[in-house]
Amino acid sequence: MAGVIRVHRRKVRVRWRRVTAGRQALMTLAYLHKGETYACVAVGFEVSVSTVFRRVNETISLVAARAPGLVKVLRRAKRRGVPYVILDGTLIHGDRVAVDRPYYSGKHRTHGVNVQAITAPDGDLLWTSGALPRLTRRYGQESELRG
């Protein structure tokens, strides 16, 4: 991850940052793995909360940009001889406020984002979608879609 950050910094010609590429990668891992708040990570790395927010989001964007697309993943699975794939989704809980209606799940009675995943039969994770809001289709439209 630090290498990806270094390459990006050279590409956009960043001359100086308060956090080195290695510490930025570590900061992102601490945030993602431990579920720490930006404030807790900021205290641990002795930087401001806004610095943590910017660096973590930058790193996530850089890593996400390197992920292969759905079509590429499915073609690779076919070449590997995977007989079928499993598509499943889950709701990842979040602390959104009530005004964020698209992120409220009535089924789970909580705020969160929907993430779809494709796995091989042996359990290998092949692909995950980005964070999606809940299904926005209204009940009255379902019958119209069926024709």
DSSP string, 40-76: HHHHHHTS-HHHHHHHHHHHHHHHHHHSPPHHHHHHH
Q: What pLDDT was estimated at residue 122?
A: 92
Q: Are 129 and 108 in contact (CB under 8 A)?
A: no
Q: What pLDDT was estimated at residue 65?
A: 85
- Can you tell me the distance from the alpha carbon of 17 to that of 21, in angstroms, rounded to the nearest whole number? 9
Q: What is the pTM (predicted TM-score) of this model?
A: 0.61
Q: What pLDDT was estimated at residue 132?
A: 64
H or E stretch including 105?
strand 104-105
- Can you tell me the distance from the alpha carbon of 117 to that of 127, in angstroms, rounded to the nearest whole number? 6
- Which stretches of the chain score pLDDT less than 70? 92-111, 113, 131-147
Q: What pLDDT was estimated at residue 55?
A: 92
Amino acid at 65: A
Q: What pLDDT was estimated at residue 1?
A: 87
Q: What pLDDT was estimated at residue 27?
A: 92
H or E stretch including 112?
strand 110-119
Q: What pLDDT was estimated at residue 105?
A: 58
